[in-house]
Structure formats: C-alpha cells, structure tokens
Amino acid sequence: MKTSRLFALVVSAALIAAGCSSMTPEDKKLAGQVAGGVTGAAIGSLFGGGTGRIVATGAGAVLGTVVGGKVAGQ
C-alpha cells in the first residue's frame, strides 16, 4: 500500500515537471517546490512511528521543498 502511494506521488511529480515547459522560471521553481515537498513528505511518512513518523514527514517535506526548488530552478 505504501509503495503504491509513493509511486503515484513520484509519477505525479514527474508529470508536473514535464508540464513546465511553457512556464516562467519562477513558476517552474514553485512547481518544483510543491512537487518536492509533497514527495518528500510521502517518503518521510514511510519511516518511524508515532512522533518519529511526524518528525520524518515534516523533515521530508522541508528537504523535498528545498531540493525540488533547486532542481526546477536550473
């Protein structure tokens, strides 16, 4: 179940990135940040349990947002 949810999120992020060809650089960066944040949160939620899972989800979202913005901004 978790693997299929993660796969769906990664595919969605890839489709969002593919649709960015006509966007301005700022819009691409924002789309990358959103896609990265969602994907990072999904990956983080796979780790830990209880409070640890909440922390991992938040850390994944923050890290994904930063990385997604950097990748999309290039």
Does residue 34 belong to any structural domain of this protein? yes
- From residue 72, give the alpha-carbon distance in Å to each of 49, 52, 59: 31, 29, 20
Residue 63 is predicted with a pLDDT of: 94
pTM equals 0.69
Does residue 70 belong to any structural domain of this protein? yes
Does residue 1 belong to any structural domain of this protein? no
Q: How far apart are the first and last CA of the chain?
A: 34
Does residue 36 belong to any structural domain of this protein? yes
d(CA 51, CA 10): 25
- Residue 37's SS3 state is helix
The answer to whether 23 and 72 have CB atoms below 8 angstroms apart is no
Domain that holds residue 40: 26-74
Residues 17-71 pLDDT 10s = 666 567 787 888 888 898 899 889 988 988 888 999 999 999 999 999 999 888 8
Residue 61 is predicted with a pLDDT of: 92
The tally of domains found in the chain comes to: 1
